[in-house]
Amino acid sequence: MRLEQKVSLVTGVDSEIGRAIAVTLARDGSKIAGCYKSSEKAQETLRSIEALGGACALLAGEVSRPADAEAIVKNTMQQFGRLDVLVNYGAARRVVGTVMDISEKDFDEEMTADLKGLITLSRSAIPVMAQGGGGAIVNLSSIAGSGVKGRALRSASKAAVNALTVAMASDHGHENIRVNAVLIGPTLTAEIRKRPEQLKLLEQEAVLKRLHTPEDVGAVVLFLASDEAKQITGVLLPLDAGRSLPTY
């Protein structure tokens, strides 16, 4: 198993994608420290990992708050004694509109979810990872980071995550910490399945004529977190069935 004896701190394990990431890493041997906001949904992740015979500790907290981030990392170390992988899954609110539609509240909430939480938790985790000999950070971003019509705020927040990923990779490589990002396109979640007309349109727009699943996201995160990617850092890897490819 690629992550045997390793410990992964995964945010958003109360979401469908976050759960798939945590379960995938656990299936490949990692112990999981899972951050959540909804206890009920997080319990589903816990049960899934325990059903595999894996170890999981659920940690409540708001990762954008420095005190909470410090406590989450401290509790991870108390539970498992090390930290090898950090997965920052900042689920954006997907505000629709141009810059003319962005309220101050929208901006603050989006940047907190997408960017501040990533920075705050990484600041707490990086010293611990460095003391342990290094590790891997995987940031979940979006193909919207290159700019998408009608998604001005999401485009801005994810562009910031992408730039930050490259900066972090450059800044912490000497500590043997690799930092990469997965740029996600539309994902085949339960919500999308409920809207067959939208699903059909999204599939038609993709070069491969299909959408990736939450489990596909987990598989890419697993690769980037594992030693198979030990020479890879600062990469922004699209996962979008070719949606972002030029069509001319």
What was the pLDDT predicted at 39?
86
What was the pLDDT predicted at 107?
93
pLDDT tens figures, 185-221: 999 999 999 999 999 999 999 999 999 999 999 999 9
What was the pLDDT predicted at 92?
63
pLDDT tens figures, 95-137: 789 999 999 999 999 999 889 999 999 999 999 999 999 999 9
What was the pLDDT predicted at 37?
85
pTM of the model: 0.96
Residue 246 lies in a domain: no
Number of domains in the chain: 1
pLDDT tens figures, 12-37: 999 999 999 999 999 999 999 999 98
Task: State yes or no: pLDDT of 183 exceeds 80.
Answer: yes
What was the pLDDT predicted at 93?
63
Domain limits for position 139: 7-239
At 55, is the pLDDT very low, low, confident or very high (cuts 50, 70, 90)? Answer: very high
Residue 220 lies in a domain: yes
Residue 89 lies in a domain: yes
Residue 161's φ and ψ, nearest 5 degrees, are -60, -40
Distances (CA, A) of 197 to 190, 194, 203, 211: 14, 9, 10, 14
Token look-up 């909430």 returns 109
Helices (H), 81-210: 104-111, 117-131, 152-172, 190-193, 196-205
Residue 112 lies in a domain: yes
Task: State yes or no: pLDDT of 239 exceeds 70.
Answer: yes
Residue 226 lies in a domain: yes
Residue 244 lies in a domain: no
212: β partners: 187
Q: What's 159's domain CATH number?
A: 3.40.50.720
Residue 192 lies in a domain: yes
Which are the contacts of 187, defined by CB distance < 8 A and separation ≥ 6?
17, 211, 212, 213, 214, 217
Residue 156 lies in a domain: yes
The stretch 227-236 carries a mean pLDDT of: 98
